[in-house]
Amino acid sequence: MLTPRAYAAAAVIDGHIYVIGGANDTPLTANEMLDPSTDSGTPAWVGRAPLPEPRSRLAAAPVGRRIIAIGGGPANQAVASYDASSDSWQTEATPFEGEWTGLGLAANDLRLHAIGGDGPLAVNRAYQALFQLTLPLGRPAP
């Protein structure tokens, strides 16, 4: 990796491995991607858009073409969403109160399950990461 660190989160989108945040004495904003299928024989790490704020002991999981990052910072830190297509982050208010570190995060379709960790939130919580809207196609019958 380009940035040595501990306590980072990782997620995979389209076969690319993203390593996000972590700590090297202090929490980091680093976001680096590895494409293990490079033809050079030695996969190369590439720096990507950094996290909006430093995080260590966070959790991340892919949902569609986004990586959702939760926890790993001060109390009530925003949920960060990374768009791999545009190499950009968005944040939104967290549905979780309090500081949450050392948790696990797993995606199940459009829902995320945050499990365990340190602090008062060390429980299983579900979070709807994306919403899907289905529109009918065609014309109504006369």
Q: Which residue has the higher pLDDT, 135 or 60?
A: 60
pLDDT-above-90 percentage for the chain:
46
CA–CA distance, 48 with 21 (Å, rounded to integer):
12
Query: Using CA atoms, how far apart are residues 5 and 34, in angstroms rounded to an integer?
Result: 15
Q: Structural domains in the chain?
A: 9-128 (2.120.10.80)
pLDDT digits (tens, 9 = 90+) for 129-139: 554 555 566 66
Which residues on neighbouring strands pair with residue 80, listed in sequence order? 69, 91
User: What predicted TM-score, i.e. pTM, was given to this entire model?
Assistant: 0.80
pLDDT tens-digit readout, 80-105: 999 999 999 999 887 666 777 878 88
